[in-house]
Amino acid sequence: MKREIDQYLLEWKDRSDRKPLIIRGARQVGKTYTVESFARQYFKNLVKINLEEEPEFRKLFDKNDTKLIINEISILLETDIDFSTTILFLDEIQTSPNAIRVLRYFYEQIPELHVIAAGSLLDFALNEIQYSMPVGRVEFCYMYPLNFLEFLEANAQLKLASYIRDYDFITAFSPVMHDKIVQYLRLYFFIGGMPEAVKAYINTNKLSDVRRVHSSIITSLIYDFSKYGTRKQQENMITVFKYAANNTGRKIKYTHIDKETRSTFLKEAFFKLEMSRVLYLVRYTNVASSPVNDLLNNNAFKPVFLDIGLANHIGNVQLIDIDNLITHNEGMLAEQFVGQELISSNKPFIDGKLFYWMREKKNASAEIDYLLQHKNKLYPVEVKAGKTGTLKSLHLYLYEKKLKTGIRFNLDKPSIGDFSISMKNIGVNTSLNYKLISLPLYLTSVLSGFLE
Q: What is the pLDDT along the chain (452 residues), one digit of tens a residue?
A: 899 999 999 999 999 999 999 999 999 999 999 999 999 999 999 999 999 999 999 999 999 999 999 999 999 999 999 999 999 999 999 999 999 999 999 999 999 999 999 998 888 878 777 656 667 899 999 999 999 999 999 999 999 999 999 988 888 889 999 999 999 999 999 999 999 999 999 999 998 999 999 999 999 999 988 887 788 999 999 999 999 999 998 999 999 999 999 999 999 999 999 999 999 999 999 988 888 887 788 889 999 999 999 999 998 876 655 455 444 567 889 999 999 999 999 999 999 999 999 987 776 688 999 999 998 899 999 999 877 778 999 999 999 999 999 999 999 999 999 999 988 776 677 899 999 999 999 999 999 988 88
Bond into 97 cis (ω within 30): no
Contact 97, 122 (CB under 8 A): no
pLDDT given for residue 326 in this prediction = 46
pLDDT given for residue 130 in this prediction = 64
Contact 152, 193 (CB under 8 A): no
Q: How far apart are CA 409 and CA 72, in angstroms?
A: 55
**Nearest to 383, CA basis, from 395, 373, 370, 374:** 370
What domains can be seen in the chain, in order of their start residue?
A: 5-142 (3.40.50.300), 148-275+308-328 (no CATH)
Kindly tell me the number of DSSP H helices and DSSP E strands found in the chain.
16, 14
Look at residue 10 and give its three-state secondary structure.
helix
**Nearest to 368, CA basis, from 277, 245, 284, 312:** 284
Q: How far apart are CA 37 and CA 44, in angstroms?
A: 12
pLDDT given for residue 227 in this prediction = 81
Residue 184: CA count within 13 A, CB half-sphere: 25
Task: Tell how strand 279-285 and strand 355-359 pair up.
Answer: parallel
| C-beta neighbour count of 290 within 10 angstroms | 14
pLDDT given for residue 131 in this prediction = 58
pLDDT given for residue 293 in this prediction = 81
